[in-house]
Chain A
Amino acid sequence: MPRMTMIEAIRSAMDVSMERDDDVVVFGEDVGYFGGVFRCTAGLQQKYGKTRCFDTPISELGIVGAAIGMAAYGLRPCIEIQFADYVYPAFDQIASEAARIRYRSNGQFTCPIVIRMPTGGGIFGGQTHSQSPEALFTHVSGLKVVVPSNPVDAKGLLIAAIEDPDPVIFLEPKRLYNGPFDGHHDKPVTPWSKHALGEVPEGHFTVPLGKAEVRRAGAELTVLAYGTMTYVSEAAAADTGIDAEIIDLKTLLPLDLETIVASVSKTGRCVIVHEATLTSGFGAELAALVQKHCFYHLEAPITRVTGWDTPYPHAQEWDYFPGPARVGRAMIETMEG
């Protein structure tokens, strides 16, 4: 099976989708001729022409608003916001428009768009290249929110997202583009070419939205994570020797509650990990659901390990980033608690 980086897998997903369906169009800032600042769309304009893959003016509102209009016509735009940190100008179009068009028109108009954007830290990008705004989207009814953690999922989930009849926010942890970064920033990262999850089928396949996956089976404690934090949690489990069951949520909305409940009911302990800030983060939603559905199985308080409630700093990147040491400490406390 071919080996792909996450970038290549994402590109392949768009390629396969554009090949199969003329209605799929791809656009964004620097996306056309150059192929995107992370090269996720490289070659698509050459292959499909500049009316199906093109550069846009620097207007996130414009990109999303135009995509909504195209979707109303019947196309399936898969658009790129250069960094998640730059999505805010488009927030009105996403939250008030894309998310509600089906509902408010009673299905006359729909919005099958995918909004891709790189998220997360670990690249010394400072406060405008590091944010994880997933909770801003999971709070909006009508959106789906996906966070892949590896090439094969990225491709399958992106194809599923493009084929989905509703708007999907597709968050790509940029620190994972080239390999499974586990937070040990002083050690080299294994490239995807040497990792099992870098094996990606060439053609069409989907990974269903709304399904989580157990990355590491374990008996002592459940870790709920997504994106980069799956690997950080794996590293923390290895470092502490705790037999943790690590769940990669993959889709935050709709959430695979079944897999979560089955695991926490078994282990009785739960640690939630995300890069985004703590207060009103997606972890709060997870904690509320876990206590509701697993209350009588819990043997310790649910713990969250997250980014601190500050803007993402530059110099203090590794003090901010919830790395394996912090996750490990939370696991130990939860075992003792």
Chain B
Amino acid sequence: MAGSSTGNGPLQLHVPEPSVRPGDQPDFSSVKIPQAGTVERPPVDVDPRDIRDLAFSIIRVLNRKGEAVGPWAGSLTDEELRDGLRDMMTLRAFDARMQTAQRQGKTSFYMQHMGEEAVSCAFRKAMEPGDMNFPTYRQAGLLIAGGYPMVDMMNQIYSNEADPLKGRQLPIMYSSKEHGFFSISGNLGTQFIQAVGWAMASAIKRDTRIAAGWIGDGSTAESDFHAALVFASTYQAPVVLNIVNNQWAISTFQGIARGGSGTFAARGLGFGLPSLRVDGNDYLAVHAVAKWAVERARRNLGPTLVEYVTYRVGAHSTSDDPSAYRAKTESDAWPLGDPVIRLKNHLIVKGLWSDERHKQAEAEVMDSVIAAQKEAESHGTLHSGGKPSTRDMFEGVYETMPPHLRRQRQEAGV
């Protein structure tokens, strides 16, 4: 901890370090995990000052046996649970195929969600049509669970002739206004305050729609995060502010961004925001907390800060190799398990599912992903087949193309 040298000796700079590095034995004993079902569920109109302890605990619903327990259980029907499992399995299969497609040179870049599927998939189910997400690059579950066509996602990834964004954006930087998914920026953090602004606009216009902002643990260090919290707090904006703490920011462990504050959720306390921590690998817990926060926003009770405690199982992106900076078996040691397996086990415990049905569902899901991929590839991949035109490159900088760009387009011969 900070201040290891006391008294009148020379000062010493404190630089936090993870306790485990490559070659070491993974150890998550410092992650304090309460038993499922033990954290209270306050009424949505609770005074934030009365639930400060929720910023230091972890709301969990699924216990080790796969049962849903405690006051946060029961937010989903059997049908919705089965859909949730399918959404997460679809996202996982989608990731697997696109990761491979990148390796095969069909696109330049990809980022996967392995281990974090529950966060975006379950959150999406707590929102209403018309609500708006301001996501990062690791929330494709919002699109999958929202029914956005996979083939359009793939067209974007391939930058092909059917790419809804005309080849202008890096793969996975989707945008769909219709599906409540704000255009992803490569510049970390920018979307967090924009979500607050969107929510403020909805309140200004006496609308009923709410917004959700998304940010990674590492990116909470950006000033945009702090701007979002102060604006949300000052104007009591109808927004859910989501921090996805997957323990890593590329090679940097979460302690560098968190510093001396016990948790990321605790950042909200100084702003007077209700701040909750939730088991991000527990589909039921994510959904229940999302629903609670969304309801607060919708009922004009103001913003909520939520930290999802999860783990980035895969590499940061296809440009990254985590074996250089973290223990190889760390993901196996992660104490909150795998979100897909946990929901699967829950469905089995409830008598709604079986191993055979799971296998069958895996095959169906993979078939649908492969079918979408075939269709997308018929429109081209990054380096072969149909591509967006060079003309497209000049369009859309402004609503009306100014003369200087028109001249440049002519010079380019298109």
Chain A interface residues (CB < 8 Å from chain B): 29-30, 32-34, 37, 50-51, 54-62, 85-86, 88-89, 124-129, 278-279, 308-311, 313-316, 319-320
- Docked Cα-Cα span, A127 to B185, in Å, equals 9
Beta-carbon contact of B252 and A29 below 8 Å: yes
List, in ascending order, chain A residues with CB within 8 A of B412's CB. Answer: 308, 319
Evaluate contact between A314 and B325: CB separation under 8 angstroms.
no
The reply to whether B167 and A59 contact each other, CB–CB distance below 8 Å, is no
Cross-chain contact B188 with A126 (CB below 8 angstroms) = no
Which residues of the partner chain A approach B249 to less than 8 Å between Cβ atoms? 29, 58
Distance to closest chain A CB from B158 (angstroms): 9
Check B252–A55 contact: CB distance below 8 A.
yes
The 8 closest A-B pairs by CB, nearest first: A315-B167, A128-B186, A126-B170, A57-B221, A34-B251, A315-B159, A124-B108, A316-B393
Q: Is B39 an interface residue (CB 8 A)?
A: no
Interface residues on chain B, size class? 35 or more
Give bound CA distance, A309 to B407, whole Å: 11
CB within 8 Å for A89 and B408 given contacts A50-B15, A124-B109, A128-B186: no
Q: Are B250 and A29 within 8 A (Cβ)?
A: yes
Give B residues with C-beta under 8 Å from A. 12-13, 15, 17, 21, 108-109, 159-160, 163, 166-171, 173, 185-189, 218-219, 221-224, 249-252, 256-257, 259, 319-320, 324-325, 382, 387-388, 390, 392-394, 397, 404-405, 408, 412, 414
Say how far B164's CB is from chain A's closest CB, in angstroms: 13
Residue of A nearest to B161 (CB): A315
Contact A311-B168, Cβ < 8 Å, known A30-B252, A86-B188 = yes
B394 and A85 contacting across the interface, CB-CB below 8 Å: no
Alpha-carbon distance between A306 and B250 when the two chains are bound, in angstroms: 33
> Residues of A contacting B404 with CB < 8 Å?
278-279, 309
Chain B residues within an 8 Å CB radius of A316? 167, 387-388, 390, 392-393
Shortest distance from the beta carbon of B249 to any chain A beta carbon, whole Å:
6
B170 touches A310 (CB 8 A): no
CB neighbours of B186 from chain A (8 A): 85, 126-129
B contact residues around A86 at 8 Å (CB): 187-188
Partner of B393, one of A54, A85, A125, A310: A310
Please give the distance in Å from B13's CB to the nearest CB on chain A.
4
Which residue of chain B has its CB nearest to the CB of A52? Answer: B13
* A314 to B21 Cα, complex, angstroms: 36
Say yes or no: A314-B405 contact (C-beta < 8 A), given A34-B324, A34-B325: no
Please name all residues of chain B whose beta carbon is closer than 8 Å to the beta carbon of A56 when the two chains form the complex.
256
11 pairs, CB–CB < 8 Å, chain A vs chain B = A33-B17, A37-B319, A54-B15, A56-B256, A57-B218, A58-B188, A60-B222, A129-B186, A278-B404, A308-B405, A313-B393
